[in-house]
A and B are shown apart, each in its own frame.
Chain A
Amino acid sequence: MALPKKEKKYLPLIPNKVGKERRQEMLDDIQEKGTFLPKGILHADLDRGMLDFVKESLKLVVDSKSVPTLDKIITTQGWAQFTETWDFKDLDENVKLPFVCTVRQPEVKYGTNPATKYNIPERLRFFYATVPTWDGQRKGADVYKIPQPIPIDVTFTVKIFCNRMRELNEFNKVVMEKFTSRQSYQQIKGHYIPIILEDITDESVKDLEKRKYYIQNYKFLMQGLLIDEEEYQVSPAISRYLTVLEVGTKNRQNKVSTKKDRPNFFDFKFDYQVGTTGLTENYFYTADIKTKDLINVTSYSVFINGNYIGDDISTIQITNGDTLDITIVKTDVTLDSYIGTTIYLL
């Protein structure tokens, strides 16, 4: 069983950031020397990004020699002219093996990147940022709007031409290490573009009586996006506003009568006219009834709900639903009698 190697291959002079600090670092990297708007990205930018990816991330070194990478996308037109300036040529002015080149499939298809696959129709422009402005007199702002990026799939084939199996192995190792996590990323004009390894094929020359060399194709799918700066929209925001309020001259609204506060106590007078010696009163509240004036009354008896309570009671306690009977003995039966009370609501 192999033991883990404890020695470090290199000492990092700048510690790698992780977590939130790493995200901030990436954000700073994207915004460095940038504008308020994201940088536009079109087909040529994606192609350039792929070439850089091949040159930097898939760099192949065999026997301490760097295998040259063609720093151009091979097209039908450019190759003939390009070979005239290529540094690594053989006797016949052909490119000398080994080398790595990148071929792009001319067709670019609608993207399959799930992050941008679903779109909003009609190319609406969406708020991106509000940028403060100053025209020398008045502060204002510009509103920046951009449309949704268009997802595209670009297929590249990175080809290695060589005539030794070890060169193939080394390049395969480089690619596999880079794509262990299915996809790798290339930062193109501030945007992180995923690249997926789709397939590896071989088309080596195997004829017995031919010049023999290996050709292996690594097919990559770049899940790119298109952002056209021509579609950006910058419009001035509201710098000041005026509020106008119109008020009618007629007021036909009814007056609202204010209600007096409900008192905690009030006076009540039991009035016994001539010939009357008893009064019955039903109460729908709870209160203490305190007698204070007796006019032409010798004595009185109190009954609540037919039950005798007492004579000449100064405070009568009633509750909600009680029936109060007060029977009096008049001093002069020819005259009216009164019992003045104050009712305190509880």
Chain B
Amino acid sequence: MTQNRVPITRLNKFFSAEDFNLDISMGEEWLHGDMNFTLVLYRVDRQRTNKDDVYGETLEDGIQFMPPVEFKGYVQVESPENKDLGDSRLSQMESGNIKVGVYQNQLDMLAIDISYGDYIGYYETETRVRYYTVVNDGRVNSDNKHTYGGYKKFYRSIVAAPVNENEFKGI
């Protein structure tokens, strides 16, 4: 079944599809070529993941994921937070969330999607990787910021929170 395609002609007088594609390609060249932030996406296999039949929580080492995929994005790691666990006096330094801006084009080329609960690995050093779970998959990106002033969606802002090792620890 063919899908209806409606050409986007807004802003056409001074910003055409060619301009849009040019800007995106320049941005990707900067992000992928110059910045080169590389992340690994672990998409959870929701069919095979061993989860609790009552609460739906994953069991320890029970998460099954699809083959990891490297992707590029613009990474911002928030400042760590020094705080108590609840109202206890167990104070500890907790890592901040990670915000990833990723071109939709990149996701389309890799044929991947990022969803709630998926895991993202980000290598802080050569040997140390921190894992995050997606808490905001940025799927709804219809705002002006994500549509180049209202022209067309071109990137997603992903927010992921750090996870404990007993929840996910990669391969």
For the residues of B in contact with A, the DSSP-based class is loop
B109 interface residue per 8 A CB criterion: no
Q: Do B130 and A91 touch (CB < 8 A)?
A: yes
**Which 3 A-B pairs give the minimum distances between C-beta atoms?**
A215-B86, A94-B92, A203-B86
Which of B57, B89, B97 sits near A103, CB closer than 8 Å? B89
Name 22 interchain pairs, CB-CB below 8 A, sorted by A: A63-B59, A74-B89, A76-B89, A79-B90, A83-B92, A90-B165, A91-B165, A92-B92, A159-B86, A161-B86, A163-B167, A164-B59, A165-B57, A203-B86, A205-B86, A208-B135, A208-B136, A209-B97, A210-B135, A211-B161, A211-B163, A215-B88
How far, in Å, is A155 (CB) from chain B's closest CB? 14
Q: Knowing that A63-B59, A79-B91, A159-B88 are A-B contacts, what are 10 other residue pairs whose CB atoms are under 8 Å apart, sorted by A's residue number?
A: A80-B91, A83-B92, A96-B164, A98-B166, A164-B57, A165-B52, A205-B86, A209-B159, A211-B94, A211-B161
Q: Do A92 and B94 touch (CB < 8 A)?
A: yes
B128 interface residue per 8 A CB criterion: yes
Bound Cα distance A334, B164 (Å): 152
User: How many of chain B's residues have a CB under 8 angstroms from any CB in A?
Assistant: 31
Beta-carbon contacts under 8 Å, B55-94 to A: 55, 57, 59-60, 80, 85-94
A292 interface residue per 8 A CB criterion: no
B95 interface residue per 8 A CB criterion: yes
Q: Do B57 and A213 touch (CB < 8 A)?
A: no
Bound Cα distance A33, B167 (Å): 48
Q: Do B86 and A163 touch (CB < 8 A)?
A: no
Q: Do A63 and B164 touch (CB < 8 A)?
A: no
Bound Cα distance A75, B159 (Å): 35
Question: Which residues of A lie under 8 Å from residue B128 when comparing CB positions?
Answer: 91
A97 interface residue per 8 A CB criterion: yes
A95 interface residue per 8 A CB criterion: yes
Given that A90-B165, A209-B161 are known contacts, is A95 also in contact with B57, CB under 8 Å in the complex? no
A101 interface residue per 8 A CB criterion: yes
Bound Cα distance A211, B167 (Å): 11
B138 interface residue per 8 A CB criterion: no
